[in-house]
């Protein structure tokens, strides 16, 4: 089944090592996945990002846009 990840570079809950391991496992199992990785933001950026900071707002918006596009493709477009 497909998987979508929208990741923060600085994330104590999903460290670079954990991301690498997850990607290695997905690739080894030939899973379908899509990954967004946003530089300079932390865990929760897509929910708690500072809307007054243009870059954080952009990251949050891009994350949402990616999710919408992913769901549109997998739930609507691929049927």
Q: What is the pLDDT of residues 30-73, one digit of tens each?
A: 999 999 999 999 999 999 989 999 999 999 999 999 999 999 99
Structure confidence at residue 79 (pLDDT): 58
Structure confidence at residue 64 (pLDDT): 98
Q: Model-level pTM?
A: 0.88
Structure confidence at residue 19 (pLDDT): 98
| Terminal-residue alpha carbon distance, the chain | 14
- Domain parsing of the chain, residue ranges: 3-77
Structure confidence at residue 77 (pLDDT): 78
Structure confidence at residue 78 (pLDDT): 66
Kindly tell me the burial class for residue 41, based on how many C-beta atoms sit within 10 Å of its own C-beta (0-12, 13-18, 19 or more).
buried
């Amino acid at each position: 089944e497909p998987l979508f990840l929208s990741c923060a570079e600085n994330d104590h809950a999903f460290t670079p090592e954990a991301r690498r391991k997850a990607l290695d496992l997905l690739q080894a199992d030939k899973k379908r996945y899509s990954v967004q990785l946003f530089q300079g933001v932390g865990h929760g950026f897509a929910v708690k990002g500072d809307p007054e900071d243009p870059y954080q707002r952009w990251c949050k918006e891009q994350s949402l846009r990616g999710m919408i596009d992913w769901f549109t493709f997998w739930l609507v477009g691929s049927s």
